[in-house]
Amino acid sequence: MVNVDPQPLLQMRGIVKEFPGARALDGVDLEVLPGEVHCLLGQNGAGKSTLIKILAGAHQPTDGTVLVDGQPVTITTPVAALSLGIATMYQELDVVGGLTVAENIYLGHELATAGVQRRREARQRTRELLRRLGHAELSPNREVGTLSAAAQQVVSMARALSHDARVIIMDEPSAVLDSDEVQNLFRVVRELTAAGVAIVYISHRMEEIRAIGDRITVLKDGRTVAANLPVAETPTADLIRLMTGRSVEYAFPAAPPADPAAPVVLDVTDLALRGTFRDVSFQVRAGEIVGLAGLVGSGRSEILETIYGARKASAGTVTVGDTRLRAGSVGAAVKAGIGLAPEERKSQGLLLDEPVYRNITLSTFGRFANGGLLNEKAERDAAQEQAESLDLRPTGVDRAIRTLSGGNQQKAMLARWLVHGCRVLLLDEPTRGVDVGARAEIYALVRRLADSGAAVVVVSSEIPEVLGLADRVLVVSEGRVVHTGPTDQIDEHAVLDMVMEGSAA
Amino acid sequence: MSHQTAAAPPAPNEQARVEKQAAVKSRYSFGGAGTRNIGLIIALVVLFVIGYATSGTRFASLDNLTVIVSTASIIGVLSIGMTFVITAGGIDLSVGSVLGLASVWATTLATQTMAGQYGWIVMVGCALLVGVGAGLINGVLIAYGKVVAFIATLAMLVAARGLAELIAQRRTQLVNVDSFNSTFKGDLLGVPKIVWIFALVAVAGWFLLNRTTFGRRTVAVGGNPEAARLAGIPVKRHTMMLYALAGLAAGIAAVMMLARTGAGSSTNGQLYELDAIAAVVVGGTLLVGGRGTIVGTVLGVLIFATLTNLFVQNNLDSSVQSVAKGAIIIAAVLLQQRFVSRGRAG
């Protein structure tokens, strides 16, 4: 009360971050006061993760300044960030499973005298930290790998506290917690802020932001679109409008009118995967594109992978045409004519050092072969034909696929299933890592595939992409389908509302 | 629309030139089997020059060259099998022990008595079955039991050697089946028969790896098992078959061992697995999987055999030879890593 206008603890001004071929941040401003919970809002791809990594010293900004206590600083390494008092709790738990709780908390800043660890002191301090976090029941000697996700989160938080941090960045800390644990998290956050620590809090859950946040900064397409909005006085509708107003133009191909007489190609009935999603039922007709919209962790990607047999369904059936698929068998799915373009193209889809044509024929080289003998000429010809029809650049199919851009690698994935001639195409984040120009091409290509009679299912965390590309949308939240309907009867705000409200439980 | 103007493709000529350059670059940095093999051939030539300089015609005689190649043959066959396993991202430590076990099993009194009646095929069939059987056990444990390859095959290394000792009761079992000796001992067209076997296995291995769906699957499984699985390749079944293949190679090597030494013994093939792994890695097959070369493996085997011969010809301590071998392995792997990182960067 004495200090009405305190000096900001942390300021970021005009932060720009360029990656080869993409500008992840394009002028971000952020101002964090001591003792406040500053919420960072933005859709996937808005630049939140990049911003966090810059603060944590994992990335260097291309331009802009970071000030701590009003002094410009450069954060070159994670250690530098910690010594400035900035600690980060990542969304992905970053604990070492084989080490004990105490060892994890003091990892990288071990308490030691001449290289010999002061283990008793580390255990004692760990006990204090855990008590402060309301988890005195955790033993400092427990191996972290044996703990639940929520308890691992507590360890991660204790580690941030052990650095005497002045700013703690929490990236979706509630994602792995149940509601009791979330209340406990809030209690700890309030204690920390009362002691003058600032929290940068990232969450999609409006309810949490209302419960604990002080001010909000909204990011969109790598820019700050609104800064320092008071939580108490800003309606949710305004926030959603700020998050969704677009500067990137999407160019979607026109969809032909739906043909109710087209045969059902894919029939998913009561599909479930234990602990992830349940009661998922939908049909896709030939020529139709169905989109799945939902947050990360809602189960949308798992639904695709289960249909494909890459995960074994705990209940329900998948039928392609007249063929009912054996659960958990990718071979059966591919044979029945399903193709999957996975979310992580490089780690799940491609043989990066192999030539383009071999990547295109990875599912079909056996079909070209004659009694086990490869027919590389036929493979190359078929790959070349698809490469030309998809306008794959550069044009040669003999180069290693590693040398292609993200968009062209994605085209090669689609070419794989075109050569296969599949009837059902499952696309998980088809435009991730694809630049804006190539996106329009991918969209047109997907529509062309549907027009040629394929049934297409698209998962995307970008809601406009789902709505623009698909004929029908299924909104997925917390492992359930909460809405099904034509995409021309619902807008981005309504979908975002559903996924955020549904996740507030 | 503005982005399209910005990203306008270069003029056709320019584009063609850029693409050609990229293609040339990619040929040398990725599919660079040719350049790597040239390096190995140079190393081999250097060893020959040293051999000629230090031992003269004693080294360069046809007889001695025959000795070098026949020394290389048995390890060579093991190395061909090992190339497949390593290309798929695995490892098989048990091949030397399995060789020993197969050599013992094929020379028991019972087997040899049957072979006396029905011919050498009984002994060969027995050796190959033992090899494939041991390999299948490895494969099932690794592919379906999810045991780490290193551990599963280490267990097989110990167990197969023990079983061989039990069967042979630590005695040397002489081969006294005439049809076996007349079929596999001696020369054909002036070249030892075991060298012919090595050559046949090498050619078959090259064909299998480079020209068949089996080989393509092997490279895919080693390059990215998840991508292979999601493309519909039966990764588990294929992994199992690869270890069976390595076991088959060990069985063939056992037959060659019997032909060369004339006896089955539980000590046959000791530490051969390490020589085979060394030859494969020096040959340029990536230990992390995804790239394998049979030609490189053959050259790797020949380099080590020549090195051994050089030391023998000059009456040098075999301990020094071991140090030299170690240095060659490290040098080859360091070169390989530079190669990989350069390829990835481009």
CA distance A403 to A355: 10
Q: How many CB atoms lie within 10 A of CB B339?
A: 18
CA distance B257 to B278: 20
Counting as low any pLDDT under 70, the low residues of chain A are 1-5, 21-22, 44-45, 91-93, 176, 178-179, 245-250, 435-437, 501-505
Decide if pLDDT at B255 tops 90: yes
Residue contact B23–A372, C-beta within 8 A: no
Q: Which residue blocks in chain B are alpha helix, DSSP H?
A: 2-6, 12-29, 33-55, 57-60, 62-87, 95-105, 109-118, 121-143, 149-168, 178-184, 193-211, 213-223, 225-230, 235-261, 272-283, 294-313, 318-345
All CATH 3.40.50.300 domain ranges of chain A, comma separated, are 10-244, 263-337+422-505
Chain A residues with CB under 8 Å of a chain B CB are: 308, 310, 330-331, 333-335, 340, 342, 347-355, 358, 362-363, 365-366, 369, 372-374, 393-396, 398-400, 402-403, 416, 436-437
CA distance B20 to B18: 5
Residue contact A396–B19, C-beta within 8 A: yes
Residue A92's pLDDT is what?
A: 66
B4: left (phi over 0), alpha (psi -120 to 50) or beta: alpha
CA distance B236 to B143: 5
B125 touches chain A (CB under 8 A): no
Judge contact between A137 and A113, C-beta under 8 A. Answer: no
Residue from A80, A132, A84 nearest A105 by CA = A132
Residue B61's pLDDT is what?
A: 85
Spatial neighbors of A396 by CB under 8 A, at least 6 apart, are A356, B19, B23
Spatial neighbors of A77 by CB under 8 A, at least 6 apart, are A57
A271's enclosing H/E stretch is strand A264-273
Residue A249's pLDDT is what?
A: 55
Mean pLDDT in chain B?
85
A329's enclosing H/E stretch is none
State residue A3 phi and psi, 5-degree precision.
-95, 95
Spatial neighbors of A189 by CB under 8 A, at least 6 apart, are A37, A170, A199, A201, A212
Distance from CA of B195 to the nearest CA of A (A): 27
Judge contact between B101 and B221, C-beta under 8 A. Answer: no
B220 touches chain A (CB under 8 A): yes
Residue A478's pLDDT is what?
A: 83
CA distance B239 to B91: 11
Spatial neighbors of B104 by CB under 8 A, at least 6 apart, are B164, B167, B168, B173, B264, B265, B266, B268
Print burial letters for A157-195: b (CB count within 10 Å at least 16), e (below 16).
bbbbbbbebbbbbbbbbbbbbeeebbebbeebbeebbee
B236 touches chain A (CB under 8 A): no
Amino acid at B67: V
Decide if pLDDT at B343 tops 60: no
Judge contact between A211 and A179, C-beta under 8 A. Answer: no
* B113-130 tens-digit pLDDT: 888 888 899 999 999 999
Residue contact A374–B7, C-beta within 8 A: no
Residue B12's pLDDT is what?
A: 43
B51's enclosing H/E stretch is helix B33-55
| DSSP per position, A350-363 | --TTSBHHHHHTTT
Helices then strands, each counted (H, E), chain A: 17, 22
Measure Cα distances from B280 to B79, B82, B204, B256, B294 in Å.
6, 7, 16, 20, 8
Decide if pLDDT at B344 tops 50: no
The three-class DSSP label of residue A425 is strand
Residue from B247, B214, B238 nearest B138 by CA = B247
Per DSSP, A483 falls in state E
Residue A149's pLDDT is what?
A: 75
Q: Which residues lie across from A370 on neighbouring strands?
A: A373
Q: Is the domain A263-337+422-505 a CATH 3.40.50.300 member?
A: yes
User: What average pLDDT does range B56-75 have in this prediction?
Assistant: 87
**Token pair listed for B133:** 């059987």
Residue A396's pLDDT is what?
A: 84
Residue B194's pLDDT is what?
A: 93
Per DSSP, B93 falls in state S
Per DSSP, A222 falls in state T
Among the partner residues A334, A373, A394, nearest to B212 by beta-carbon distance: A373
Determine which of B4, B21, B230 to mutate to test the interface with A (most A C-beta atoms within 10 Å).
Answer: B230
CA distance A169 to A159: 12
CA distance B335 to B296: 14
Question: Domains in chain B, ordered, with CATH?
Answer: 35-340 (1.10.3470)
Q: Is the domain A10-244 a CATH 3.10.20.740 member?
A: no
Residue count of chain B, please give it: 346
Amino acid at A213: G
Question: Strand ranges (DSSP E) for A420-471?
Answer: 424-428, 455-460
Question: Strand ranges (DSSP E) for B180-318?
Answer: 187-188, 191-192, 263-264
Least confident piece of the model among A213-217, A264-268, B39-43, B131-135: B39-43
Quote the ipTM score. 0.77
B-chain CB neighbours of A333 within 8 Å are 232
Residue from B120, B109, B100, B124 nearest B265 by CA = B100
| DSSP-based helix, strand, coil % in chain B, nearest 5 | 80, 5, 20
Judge contact between A50 and A24, C-beta under 8 A. Answer: yes
Judge contact between A237 and A230, C-beta under 8 A. Answer: no
B120: left (phi over 0), alpha (psi -120 to 50) or beta: alpha
CA distance A177 to A187: 14
B91: left (phi over 0), alpha (psi -120 to 50) or beta: beta
**Token pair listed for B345:** 């960067």
Judge contact between A270 and A264, C-beta under 8 A. Answer: no
The three-class DSSP label of residue B23 is helix
Determine which of A346, A348, A362, A422 to mutate to test the interface with B (most B C-beta atoms within 10 Å).
Answer: A362
Q: What is the CA radius of gyration of chain A?
A: 25
Residue from A193, A332, A403 nearest B26 by CA = A403
Determine which of B19, B28, B30, B87 to mutate to test the interface with A (most A C-beta atoms within 10 Å).
Answer: B30
* Cis peptide leading into residue A355 (ω within 30°): no
Judge contact between A58 and A78, C-beta under 8 A. Answer: yes
A-chain CB neighbours of B220 within 8 Å are 351, 354, 362
Distance from CA of A248 to the nearest CA of B (A): 11
The three-class DSSP label of residue A135 is coil
User: What average pLDDT does range B241-264 have in this prediction?
Assistant: 95
The three-class DSSP label of residue A74 is coil
Q: For residue B140, what pLDDT band results from cuts at 50, 70 and 90?
A: very high
Residue contact B227–A349, C-beta within 8 A: yes
